[in-house]
Amino acid sequence: MQTKRSYIDGVQPEAELLKEGAEWLRAGELVAFPTETVYGLGANALNDLACAKIFEVKGRPQDNPLIVHVCNRAMANRLVEAWTPVAELCVQHFWPGPLTLVLPKTAIVSNVVTAGLPNVAIRMPSHPVALRLIEAAGLPIAAPSANLSGKPSPTSGSHVWRDMKGKIPLILDAGACQVGVESTVLDVSGGVPTILRPGGISKEQLESILGEIQVDNPSECQVPKAPGMKYRHYAPRGELILMIGSTERIVQRMGNEIHRGHSRLKKVGVLCTLESAPFLHNRLPDLLFVLGSKEHLEEVASNLFEGLRLCDERGMDVILAEGVKEGGLGTAIMNRLQKAAGQRIQYVL
């Protein structure tokens, strides 16, 4: 398949490009589009065949449900059987934005989208291209992140191009995504609201409006409530080691690991904070990527997937990643890094 990559204005998207995207979506085809978190791979959420293509193109396990994106409340109402007071509060305070709500589904939402679950995950994105595209299509749009399964989520049009070229008819490219980590998935279907996946809206932000909430911790219960959380999202070709500790100790340990890697003829890449970078240059890693400042975790979040992808593209055998402090956006950043590291986490306190 020929893939067209159209550059679109992220603030005032061109009407004719939106129209083209909407036509493909209405015809049951897939369109990649930017959201404020990561790029999405969109399909008409009410068309099972179109949604099945998403799983095929991504190589996504069938038991991992899709988030449905809407552009207004009326559209959301068609998908949700019963709104809870907590869900209403979330809509008021966090939509449009990087918060996905899990609520009981209506009959029009098919089992292909929810992977057979009784609840549907819905979100109203804030990116103008996403909102206007859904509006132009006049349809709710099912969209996972627009990467191949097992790769980091795409945060730029180039990432999508590399993963989706030849597989879908259209990529709407509006450049880099602002947030850089995926939305927070929050179960508000009843009982205590529960975070199923940490993301762009922090637990602290949610608690300031909702009071105390819970976090689904898949290591404690056997089956995570968000099926996607059981997959090791990003399995880099290289071995990723996550290091947690003070700048001083991290620099020292990374220096040792770089030396060890080189003596085994391995290429060693480093993903670190702005604060550690000046001390790591002279340790001569094969790639040094600065994620951003410890004091500005929104920088780290927005650069994270770019850094991970770059390490693979440049053929790093070992990837040393510096952890950040948990809390706020730090929780989502650490969640993604921990998944990429698997069991390889070193505490260098």
Picking from 244, 216, 231, the residue whose alpha carbon sits closest to that of residue 344 is 244
Q: Which helix (H) or strand (E) holds 308?
A: helix 297-313
Whichever of 37 and 145 has its CB closer to Mg ion, that residue is: 145
The yes or no reply on residue 145 touching Mg ion (CB under 5 A) is yes
Min separation Cβ 140 and Mg ion, Å = 18
For the residues of 35-95, what is the DSSP string, one character each?
-SSS-EEEEETT-HHHHHHHHHHHT--TTS--EEE-SSHHHHHTTBS---HHHHHHHHHH-
When the beta carbons of 65 and 236 are compared against ligand TXA, the nearer one is 65
DSSP 164: H
Q: Which residue type is seen at 266?
A: K
Subset of residues 189 to 228 that bind ligand TXA, contact rule: CB under 6 A = 196-197, 225-228
Nearest partner of 75 among 20, 14, 134, 121, judged by Cα: 134
Scan for tokens 């990643």, then name that residue: 321
Question: Does 182 participate in binding ligand TXA (rule CB under 6 A)?
Answer: yes
Q: Please report whether residue 120 would count as binding ligand TXA according to CB under 6 A.
A: yes
Out of ligand TXA, Mg ion, none, which partner does residue 35 contact, by CB within 5 to 8 A per kind? Answer: ligand TXA
Count the residues of the shown chain that bind ligand TXA, applying the rule CB under 6 A: 30
Please give the residues from 123 up to 162 whose contact with ligand TXA meets the rule CB under 6 A: 123, 143-145
**13 part of the interface to ligand TXA, by CB under 6 A:** no
Site for ligand TXA contains 338 (CB under 6 A): no
Give least dist CB 262 to ligand TXA, A. Answer: 36
Q: Between the CA of residue 306 and those of 144, 217, 312, 313, what are the distances in Å?
A: 18, 27, 10, 10
Only one of the segments 112-120, 245-253, 276-284, 285-293 lies at the binding site for ligand TXA (rule: CB under 6 A); that segment is 112-120
Q: Are 341 and 235 in contact (CB under 8 A)?
A: no
Residues lying near ligand TXA in the complex (CB under 6 A)? 35, 37-38, 40, 64-67, 98, 100, 102, 114, 117, 119-121, 123, 143-145, 182-183, 185, 196-197, 225-229
